[in-house]
A and B are shown apart, each in its own frame.
Chain A
Amino acid sequence: MRSYMRRLVTLSMVLFSVLSVRVYAQQATPLTQADTFDVPPEIAGHEQEWPLGNHDYANTRAAVGATINAANVNTLGLAWTAELKGGAEWGGAAGNPLIVDGVVYFEDLNANISAVDFKTGKLVWKKSYSNKIFGPSGPGIGYGKLFVLTRLDRYAALDLKSGDELWTYDTGIEVTAGAFQPSVFDHQVYLATQAASSGKGRIIWHSYKGGSSGVVLATDPETGKVRWQWQVVEDGFWGNPEINSGGGLWYPAAIDTQRGVTYWGTGNPSPIPGLKGYPNGSSRPGPNLYTNSLVALDHRSGKMRWYNQVKPHDLFNLDFQISPILATVKIGSQDTDIVIGAGKNGVVYGFDRGTGQTLWKTPVGDHKNDELSALPLTDETIWVAPGAWGGVETPMAYADGVLYVPTVNLPSPYNATAYDAETPEQALNRSEGGTILKDGNFEVDALDGATGRVLWQQKFDRVGFGGVTVVNDLIFTASLDGVIYALSRTDGHVVWQWQAPGGTNAWPAVAGDTIIWPIGIGPHPMVVALRLQTHHPTPTPEQQRTPVKTPEGG
């Protein structure tokens, strides 16, 4: 009865907040739902804060109740900063803070977790592990706990009030979890692993170690005990577990809180493209299920409801890794529940949420040689776009029937055997190491959610890995060198821009009048809070530059 009353009160609070909020950004998935499933009290009714990695279970990244808009964005200024420890492979931070009950929770890439006051930035508590993790990462919250990565092969639950460690869960060295932001739903914590190993004796990330796979781990928030798990790569690793791996899970799932179904975007198979003696992925014949797929898993049992593989036998690191977005769109005269997926493949898909059938697909950004099924068996280098860090690399956003997609145009060099690479990690490093950042750029595309039709496009002259975030009539994004942009949702034009005191490959949380953004690259990694009507001076490391608008731009 107490549980019923709690849900009733919570539901009333949610309805009140939904009805009372001035709606710019739609409420795609309310944060309290139904009688069947439970939403943690730190999430239920917290729409106006940022309680999940992508704001809500539908992954809309659309702020609710925020007061920042095109008319006042030019009064945004630096309210406070909080120090981040740098020095991991991807700098100091790559991921999303949370904001709950007036406290900001964030994790750096050395697995140090901080809780700071939302208004002042004053430290509430800090839990330091000083273990390099890979990223993207970030905390998950629920039932009085914070769930975090504490090293490459370990998750932990921390007490929300003190940061004290309550339990740990070790993934094992062969299935490393160096990059994931947990989420909590219905008394279950979702954790995941990537295709990597942490090595023996030393906690060092080894990408694409043979026999490693992305694994979904559904765990008990009270104990860390795994209730069910689902491995992306088929048993047997397509015939060669010594070499083959793949299907990393990099981003939080979407959770349909009414159906009790979770939706995951999976990563690529490895080796990419091949090794000495195994050119063009010949160590892994076939489609390499269930890599580069959208997969629907039952929340309670882990049973697969459906899958849709968008890139069988991928040679070019073209993950389908981005957090899927749940939406309801009108197709014909019918309201249709869809799930939208995308990734480094640079193609956005709309699927029927019930069946997985493809409803539409739209290429975004540059494409070159990415449809090749084999590379020449010579020393020749073939440039492929999207490259190793290209395509849709960081989170999308959705509001009012429109999808916003950040896409990186950045090709990478490939060779059939990765120039006679001896190991899968060596093959990966050779394509990434040959990628030329200054030759790349990024764009934001707006797509109609019902059809995938491109509504407008805004291009920038540098690469960017800052995701996109909807705040009322604006979209926020960032370039790698730390220019934060606010774009008009109407046509994508730049309304405002600000040079952060470092570079960023992270994305923000938003509540009320404030944006919290990790700035993790450069000499002094930090988290910055940008707030309306604030005019504190900000160090500017480099002169601001104006984005280049293309003829196609809106």
Chain B
Amino acid sequence: MQTDPGKRSLIIHIIMTFVISLLMSACTTTHPDRPPNPQQLIGQGRQLYVEFCAECHQVDGSGYSHLYPRLAGNPIITLHDPEPMIVTVLYGQGSMPSFNGKISSDDIAAILSYIRNAWGNSAAAVSARQIH
């Protein structure tokens, strides 16, 4: 059975319109995990860093002796892929505690975004969706 070319064109048009409208909808809907913007994240992260991290890593990111690693100028902090940082914060390492469940994903993202952009560090912000 042959399909009428005009009818086939209409079906394709309807399908394409539906797909495009779905894509547009996805692009314009605000996702709750979406970071407000990188600068806002970094600003939130500064205060959270003081409250949860600076006891050991110090407010200037300098760490302490051989015990608490330096974050300022540390190349691991500014890797393109923030995964190593995320894993360390979530699950701990050596004497460092895990923060999984203690701090929300939004707050961890803000802290990591701050650390990656403080004291001369420069790297992309981290979104809550990257925290798993």
Which A residues fall within an 8 A CB radius of B? 86-89, 91-92, 132, 202, 204, 426, 429-430, 432-438, 462, 480-482, 502-503, 520-525, 541-542
Contacts and interface: CB of A to CB of B under 8 A. Distances in A.
Contacts of B101: 202, 204
Contact of B95 (A86, A433, A462): A86
Interface string B86-130: 000000111111100110000000000000000000000000000
B9 to A, nearest CB: 58
A88 B95 CA distance: 7
Interface stretch (B16-24, B28-36, B55-63, B71-79): B55-63
Interface residues of B, number: 24
B84 to A, nearest CB: 15
B58 A542 contact: no
Contacts of A435: 55
B50 interface: yes
Given A481-B65, A481-B67, A430 B95 contact: no
Contacts of A520: 95
A190 B95 CA distance: 29
Contacts, number: 78
A247 to B, nearest CB: 23
A522 B93 CA distance: 9
B58 A437 contact: yes
B contact face: mostly helix, strand, loop, or mixed: loop
Contacts of A436: 58-60
Contact of A522 (B49, B50, B95, B97): B95
Contacts of B67: 480-482, 502-503, 521-522
A188 B81 CA distance: 56
A438 B58 contact: yes
Contacts of A437: 58, 64
B54 interface: yes
B47 to A, nearest CB: 8
Contacts of B96: 86-87
Interface in B35-57: 49-55
A92 B96 CA distance: 9
B94 A86 contact: yes
Contacts of A433: 49-55, 59
Given A132-B97, A426-B51, A542-B66, 8 more contacts: A87-B93, A87-B94, A433-B53, A433-B59, A436-B60, A522-B66, A522-B94, A523-B95
